[in-house]
């Protein structure tokens, strides 16, 4: 693999804005990065076989779920555990053999296949050797524009798979999403596809991104009710407790069920904060509220939390040695040295060890007091529609600013706090994702009872923001979504933000500001296409951006 030990440029923090080549800024080792590349290579091989099966009407029952989980495992900050990635590749190779057998039984010709369908490894060592070979990994595609577009699609698929996996855990599936993922994976191997076809595939990825977010929205709201406007406690109580982080609501439900009546409290962290907005979770007396802030502050906050922490997904920061024994992972997440909890065949997870662990530890140390308000997902905003429309018509609200997306540790992200503070008082921020932690504790006031920061929920709830925009377009009888008084200033970090961005482009949203930096994986030519076709542009400074977006 050339002169690099690894090559990864999938997130906003990629080294020097080019790519991580020795160790990830996220903490990922070169071994894990290379194995994750090999996992993607393996998944592409399975997709080739699945496409062949589709023509003959053969469905491979395990394939779809295996693919979702594998894509999810390679998202930034989700899984740092080389053992679990090796095991996942092995499962893929076994599955591949079964698929081949089924195809051969139908006389399908499997000669002259791509290496990703053929390679094998007899041992972990052979697998590690394969993971660094030149045909595996991002740099295997030599043309930088084709590489850029293929990876843009791959990162969109990773985000889409994460959302589809959460929906799957709630027994909601959409076959069309699976079929698209297969088609797109195979397309990233197709050397006959040029830039034009890959740009079209990128937009199609956005289309299925909308589908995946709609599916998850349906899964979450049908299972747990529509989010409600909620005042969330950010203080603590005097009882031992478990902190739950990540995005998976099924894990949230199971943890609340299993802690009920045990004397152990539950607090959300980071992206799990919106769980507080769902009616189904409000009935648990031991569900106290949210502890702490954005994901990248976890080292300090886990220290003062004192109890065990359960990661259901990303974002994991490599833990300190003195609290690693308190960290548990489940689902696609993993970290070497942390205990991982697997589901049974019904998807049930046994969290009793975490509950017992919590009982032996002290209650959380208070780091904040008071509350924050959220729960402005689409149904709640529709309930307030008359008030919102009236405020726009009367001029009380001049403009909405969609500031959804992710947070990150870079100092340049102070821009978003500054931007929120300097917005005129007749504007409202619509947010979702962990980007909100840059301004959700500021006192920005309200407009006639409508808070100036409306939090729809997790990053996937950006879907809610799109639904709200489409509804406003209908109410104001506009032909173009871009004629609404809405400006987009999105912060991105990892691949779920990539699928949110592609979904917005598919919905026709133009002139999105994207920061704090444009993705390293966009080649100059691909960036030019995005600028010229969609008006995507990077942030500059708060004053100039405000002037531009308020114009």
Interacting residues toward ligand FSO by CB under 6 A: 270-271, 295, 314-315, 406, 433-434, 458-459, 493-494, 496-497
Task: Tell me which of 1, 21, 24, 358 binds ligand SF4, using CB under 6 A.
Answer: 24
Q: Quick one: which segment of 13-21, 38-46, 125-133, 290-298 binds ligand SF4 (CB under 6 A)?
A: 13-21
Pick 76 or 202: Cβ nearer ligand FSO: 76
Query: Which tokens hold the place of 84?
Result: 């679990």
Provide CB contacts within 8 A for 484, sequence distance 6+.
400, 469, 472, 473, 476, 478
Min dist CB 85 to ligand SF4, Å, is 14
How many whole angstroms from its chain centre is CA 82? Answer: 21
Measured between alpha carbons, how far is residue 91 from residues 70, 86, 116 in Å? 10, 9, 15
Pick 88 or 268: Cβ nearer ligand FSO: 268
**Dist. CA 26–CA 79, nearest whole Å:** 11
Residue 295 contacts which entry, ligand SF4, ligand FSO, none (Cβ below 5-8 A, type-dependent): ligand FSO
Pick 25 or 481: Cβ nearer ligand SF4: 25
Binding mask 48-87 for ligand SF4 (x = CB under 6 A): ----------------------------x-----------
Min dist CB 15 to ligand SF4, Å, is 6
Q: DSSP of 283-315, one letter per residue?
A: T-TTEEEE-S--GGGHHHHHHHH-S-EEESSS-
Task: Tell me which of 4, 5, 25, 221 binds ligand SF4, using CB under 6 A.
Answer: 25
Residue 20 contacts which entry, ligand SF4, ligand FSO, none (Cβ below 5-8 A, type-dependent): ligand SF4
Pick 13 or 165: Cβ nearer ligand SF4: 13
Give the binding-site size for ligand SF4 (rule: CB under 6 A).
13
Residue 28 contacts which entry, ligand FSO, ligand SF4, none (Cβ below 5-8 A, type-dependent): ligand SF4
Q: Quick one: which segment of 21-29, 199-207, 380-388, 464-472 binds ligand SF4 (CB under 6 A)?
A: 21-29
Pick 423 or 520: Cβ nearer ligand SF4: 520
Contact status, residue 287 vs residue 281, Cβ threshold 8 Å: yes
Q: DSSP of 344-378, one letter per residue?
A: -TTS----HHHHHHHHTSPPPPP---SEEEE---H
Measured between alpha carbons, how far is residue 370 from residues 244, 290, 431 in Å? 20, 11, 21
- The DSSP bridge pattern shows strands 453-455 and 427-431 to be parallel
| 3 state DSSP class of 225 | coil
Write b or e for each residue in 312-321: b if 16 or more Cβ atoms lie within 10 A of its Cβ, otherwise e. bbbbbbbbee
Q: DSSP of 136-159, one letter per residue?
A: SSGGGS-SHHHHHHHHHHHHHHHH
Q: Quick one: which segment of 23-31, 339-347, 389-397, 438-446 binds ligand SF4 (CB under 6 A)?
A: 23-31
Query: Which tokens hold the place of 179?
Result: 């079929």
Residue 26 contacts which entry, ligand FSO, ligand SF4, none (Cβ below 5-8 A, type-dependent): ligand SF4
Min dist CB 170 to ligand FSO, Å, is 17
Question: Could you list the residues that contact ligand SF4 (CB under 6 A)?
Answer: 8-11, 13-14, 20, 24-26, 28, 33, 76
């Amino acid at each position: 693999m050339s002169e690099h030990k690894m090559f990864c440029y999938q997130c906003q923090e990629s080294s020097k804005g080019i790519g991580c080549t020795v160790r990830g800024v996220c903490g990922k080792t070169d071994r894990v990065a290379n194995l994750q590349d090999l996992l993607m290579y393996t998944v592409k091989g399975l997709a080739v076989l699945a496409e062949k099966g589709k023509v003959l009407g053969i469905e491979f029952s395990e394939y779809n779920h295996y693919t979702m989980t594998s894509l999810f495992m390679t998202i930034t900050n989700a899984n740092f555990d080389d053992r679990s990635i090796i095991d996942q590749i092995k499962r893929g190779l076994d599955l591949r053999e079964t698929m081949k057998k089924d195809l051969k039984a139908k006389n399908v010709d499997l000669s002259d296949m791509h290496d990703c369908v053929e390679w094998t490894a007899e041992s972990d060592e052979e697998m590690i050797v394969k993971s660094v070979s030149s045909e595996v990994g991002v740099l295997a595609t030599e043309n930088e524009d084709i590489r850029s577009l293929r990876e843009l699609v791959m990162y969109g698929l990773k985000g889409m798979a994460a959302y589809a996996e959460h929906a799957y855990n709630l027994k909601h599936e959409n076959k069309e999403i699976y079929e698209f993922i297969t088609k797109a994976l195979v397309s990233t191997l197709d050397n006959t596809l040029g830039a034009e076809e890959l740009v079209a595939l990128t937009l199609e990825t956005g289309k299925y991104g909308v589908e995946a977010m709609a599916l998850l929205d349906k899964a979450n709201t049908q299972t747990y009710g529509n989010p409600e406007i909620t005042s969330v406690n950010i203080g603590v109580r005097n009882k031992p407790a478990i902190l739950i982080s990540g995005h998976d609501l099924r894990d949230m439900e199971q943890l609340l069920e299993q802690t009920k009546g045990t004397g152990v409290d539950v607090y959300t962290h980071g992206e799990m904060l919106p769980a507080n907005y769902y009616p189904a979770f409000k009935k648990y007396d031991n569900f106290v509220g949210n502890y702490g802030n954005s994901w990248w502050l976890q080292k300090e906050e886990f220290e003062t939390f004192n109890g065990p922490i359960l990661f259901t997904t990303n974002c994991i920061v490599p833990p300190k040695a003195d609290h690693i024994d308190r960290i548990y992972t489940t689902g696609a997440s993993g970290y070497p040295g942390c205990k991982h909890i697997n589901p049974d065949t019904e998807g049930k997870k046994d969290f009793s060890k975490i509950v017992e662990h919590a009982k032996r530890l002290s209650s959380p140390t208070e780091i904040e007091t008071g509350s924050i308000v959220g729960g402005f997902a689409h149904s709640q905003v529709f309930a307030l529609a008359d008030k919102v429309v009236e405020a726009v018509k009367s001029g009380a609200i001049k403009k909405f600013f969609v500031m959804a997306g992710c947070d990150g540790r870079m100092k340049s992200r102070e821009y978003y706090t500054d931007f929120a503070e300097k917005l005129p008082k007749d504007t409202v921020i619509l947010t979702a994702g962990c980007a909100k932690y840059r301004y959700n504790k500021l006192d920005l006031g309200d407009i006639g009872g409508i808070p100036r920061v409306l939090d729809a929920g997790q990053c996937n709830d950006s879907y809610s923001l799109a639904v709200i925009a489409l509804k406003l377009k209908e109410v104001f009888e506009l032909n173009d979504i871009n004629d609404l008084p809405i400006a987009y200033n999105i912060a991105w970090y990892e691949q779920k933000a990539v699928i949110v961005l592609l979904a917005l482009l598919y919905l026709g949203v133009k002139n999105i500001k994207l920061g704090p930096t444009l993705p390293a994986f966009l080649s100059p030519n691909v960036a030019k296409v995005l600028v010229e076709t969609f008006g995507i542009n990077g942030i500059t400074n708060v004053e100039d951006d405000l002037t531009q977006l308020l114009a």
